[in-house]
A and B are shown apart, each in its own frame.
Chain A
Amino acid sequence: MAKPITSLRDFETIAVGPRPPGRPEDGGRGGKEQPPNLPEGSYRLAMLFALASIGMLFLGFTSAYIVRQGLGGDWQPLDPPAILWANTLMLLGSSVTLHRSRTLLRREAIREGVRWLSLTMVLGLLFLAGQYGAWRQLVAQGVYLNTNPHSSFFYLLTAAHGVHVLGGILGLGYITLRGWRWRLILMGTPDRLKHYDALVGAAALYWHFMDGLWVYLFILLFLWR
């Protein structure tokens, strides 16, 4: 029984190259060392993949936007409502405050860090309020979702982005609560701090992505008309 297998392995070596050295019997490389597996690495990894997925959603919208624009006809580009510039500044500012918060948290200046985290949430909420204001401005001009394809895309893309920002705000809220629940301020053990840093890190990744995504959408909607 051993004989034919040996010859097949030889055949395999010719076909796909030799097996990696020491494969059958060594103690092994790779894999993660630690059980129980700590979640720190998973947060960042999962967030990166989640962002890839969200990116695909907006790529889908983008391709629809470009195709629909190419059909011409009833395409009437809007002028950007003035409030959008203020909103953009607000969102960009929130990325700065979040970064500041992370730096402080890393320096174990927990109290200040959480304060900046709250400021980030406030800026995010102001951004959403501003986006709603932009909708109101358009409605006041008589521009609705179904007025023309460009307005459809404006409402659609701002709404889709806004929902994701809202998710981000809820996430930051959860993190703030969790920090409070763990009494990080009073008794942040190194393990908890590490875990907390990973949570905030993943949230920051998401938040900066939403920031960049908005800039991208702004350019798509109003420079690529």
Chain B
Amino acid sequence: MGASSAPFSVSAQGKNPRILKGGKAMTQATAVHEAPKSFIRRYIFSTDHKVIGLQYLFLAMAAVAIGIVLSLYMRLRLAWPTERWPLLGKLFPNAMAGGTISPEFYLSLVTMHGTIMVFFVLTTAPLGGFGNYFLPIQVGAHDMAFPVLNMLSFWVTLAGFLVLMAAFFVSGGAPISGWTAYAPLSAVGEIAGPGLGMGQNLWILSIALFCIASLLGALNFITTTLNLRTKGMAMTRLPLTVWAWFTTAVLALLAFPVLLAGGILLLLDRVAGTSFFVPGGLIVSDKILPHKGGSPLLWQHLFWFFGHPEVYIAILPGMGITSHVLSTFARKPIFGYRAMVTAIFAIGLLGFLVWGHHMFVSGMSPYSAIAFSLLTLSIGVPSAIKTFNWLATLYKARIHFTVPMLFALGFVSIFVTGGLSGIVLGQTSLDIPMHDTYFVVAHFHLIMGVAAIFGIFAGTYYWFPKIFGRMMNDALGKLHFWLTFIGIYAIFIPMHILGIAGHPRRYAETAGFDFLTPLQPIHVFITIAALITAGAQLLFFFNFFWSIWKGKKAEMNPWRATTLEWTIPSPPPHDNFGPQTPVVHRGPYEYSVPGAAEDYLLQTAPPAPTKS
């Protein structure tokens, strides 16, 4: 096997004797593909799904670092609104002149933080990163169905990211209309505020590129899952990670085009003088705008028709990884495999029917609001099915508390915490007072942001040995987990209190609002917690890069797990399975099977002589 590939390679370890023993069941493939020789084709414009997956992961790591820094700027402004930060101001010499964060600059931080995190971290890492790397291996394919499309998908995503970053450097700076880019603020141009000129145009362009890239990626995921499964890999034997990526890809395929449509309309309103979203007779900065007759609510409908499925695009892969990791380290089959698959689909389907719950205060008919509310609350059912199945998987298990397991358990905890506030916000009568307060900020950060990030962390610690052939440091990992886990709750639980007290979102400071003044100490507390939690992420980055070169060498299957990626060397060779295409004989979670010699059975393990 041509395994001396990646820069981080260890020599290919001997083939697993277990696999060779099953050799009779193996079918012979025609050829072993060598990785391309030239550096550019191998690492830059590579069509290898593993290289592309890593490219996505590193893009997400760069993006998350930027996103965290932006959030810290916001937190500093909120905790100490009158303070000046000349040193921090050096990073934004124009927008943050003199080291003060103006309310407008604060809003551009909000916008860029949200956009970077939602698109280039929460969508990019779990789907583009892990999905690309492991979906083909887990279904037993040599690569994605359309490798060139896959490569294009990454490069278009990267272009989208660079265009978004460019918004910081144009005149007027980054846009201030939030990641939701509500019209008419986003539609009328520079007259409405800084960053709404060129910055907003770049934002729209970036999102349009991201939409196109996601479509290309989604096509590959769907086709590969349906068409490239290896012999014996029935749909009912797919790991839950694959089910999650597959469902996510379907959501992306159907949701992103609607955002693209909305983005095109918004761009036309801005540059071509059309009136899709801008109402007539609008007066901005003492000027009557020439637009007439458009509807700002139309943008909200188009945006949230995409926006709500997007939430599940971010969280479903995390659910898949959590199921996978929980089963592995509980050393038990996942409880209710079919129920888990059904629940993933139910969540995906309902995700398309609930966008109106983001618009309860938009003046919609109370009848539609009730329909949206009921559908929203019904998402609680498949979510509860998943949660109870996770708990049942853990029930009476001898849990191995490894770092990936800790993060998977953390995922369950945060998913439940964030989900409970969703039940509050899903009801119109409760949402109306809570709308646009910190309660909402706390809710979506927990359920969509942090839960998904915990899924990413679980995936990173779990698959790192496979990707790089080395283990991440365990003690550092555990420290990272506990600091992050406690830190996250310290940041977001107080935000619920702020929200219940009526603290609005997106305000750079509370001066002048008497009822908010007593809440200021909470802001200070949150900021300190955020600084510590962000600092803890340095441990992760250090651990990650240190372990690539200095980590303990990993075996082929260090977690003693069952799925196909653990039957090939670490790191996997260019064509994954080399000359031997795996044949699958059993489901993905055969742990502690009674009568088996070990407490796990690889999916490729040949059937035992008849007994049951």
Contacts and interface: CB of A to CB of B under 8 A. Distances in A.
Interface of A: 1-2, 4-6, 8-9, 11-12, 15-17, 20, 23-33, 35-37, 39, 41-42, 45-46, 49-50, 52-54, 56-61, 63-64, 67-68, 71-75, 145-146, 149, 152, 156, 160
Interface residues of B, number: 78
A28 B209 CA distance: 41
Contacts of A56: 253-255, 257-258
A66 to B, nearest CB: 10
A75 B215 CA distance: 33
Given A28-B583, A146-B274, 20 more contacts: A12-B335, A23-B587, A24-B586, A25-B585, A28-B231, A29-B234, A30-B229, A31-B231, A31-B234, A35-B581, A36-B142, A37-B141, A42-B146, A42-B228, A45-B227, A56-B254, A57-B261, A60-B260, A67-B295, A146-B273
Contact of B234 (A12, A30, A57, A59): A30
B479 interface: no
Contacts of B392: 8, 11-12
24 contacts: A2-B594, A8-B395, A16-B339, A25-B608, A28-B231, A28-B583, A30-B235, A32-B230, A37-B142, A37-B227, A56-B257, A58-B261, A60-B261, A60-B262, A61-B261, A64-B276, A68-B294, A68-B295, A145-B268, A145-B272, A145-B274, A146-B273, A146-B274, A146-B275
Contacts of B260: 57, 60
Contacts of A23: 236, 586-587
A61 B266 CA distance: 12
Which 7 A-B residue pairings sit nearest by Cβ, starting from the closest? A30-B234, A28-B232, A60-B261, A146-B273, A57-B257, A35-B581, A56-B257
Among B30, B145, B218, residue most surrounded by chain A Cβ atoms (within 10 Å) = B145
A49 B276 contact: no
Contacts of B336: 12, 15-16
Contact of B398 (A1, A33, A52): A1
Nearest to A47: B219
Given A24-B586, A145-B274, A35 B398 contact: no
B301 interface: yes
B235 A35 contact: no
B304 to A, nearest CB: 12
A157 B89 CA distance: 45
B302 A63 contact: yes
Contacts of B222: 45-46, 49
A90 B522 CA distance: 68
Contacts of B284: none
B338 interface: yes
A5 B594 contact: yes
Contacts of A49: 218-219, 222-223, 253
Contacts of A27: 25, 232, 583, 585, 607
Contacts of A36: 29-30, 142
Interface in B586-600: 586-587, 590, 592-594, 599
Given A25-B585, A28-B584, A28-B585, A33 B146 contact: no
Contacts of A45: 222-223, 226-227
B264 interface: yes
B292 A73 contact: yes
A4 B142 CA distance: 38
Contacts of B237: 28, 30-31
A58 B235 CA distance: 32
Given A32-B230, A56-B258, A46 B302 contact: no
A149 B274 contact: yes
B145 A46 contact: yes
Contacts of A8: 332, 335, 392, 395-396
Contact of B298 (A11, A64, A75): A64
A60 B335 CA distance: 39
Contact of B258 (A60, A145, A149): A60
B268 A37 contact: no
B490 interface: no
B612 interface: yes
A53 B292 contact: no
A46 B223 contact: yes
A29 B583 CA distance: 11
B301 A149 contact: no
A164 to B, nearest CB: 12
A65 B150 CA distance: 33
Contact of A60 (B25, B29, B302): B302
Interface in B2-44: 25, 27, 29-30
A98 B155 CA distance: 33
A115 to B, nearest CB: 29
A27 B339 CA distance: 24
Contacts of B176: none
B274 A152 contact: yes
B219 to A, nearest CB: 5
B233 interface: yes
A73 B293 contact: yes
A64 B227 contact: no
B82 to A, nearest CB: 45
Contact of B233 (A31, A39, A57, A145): A31
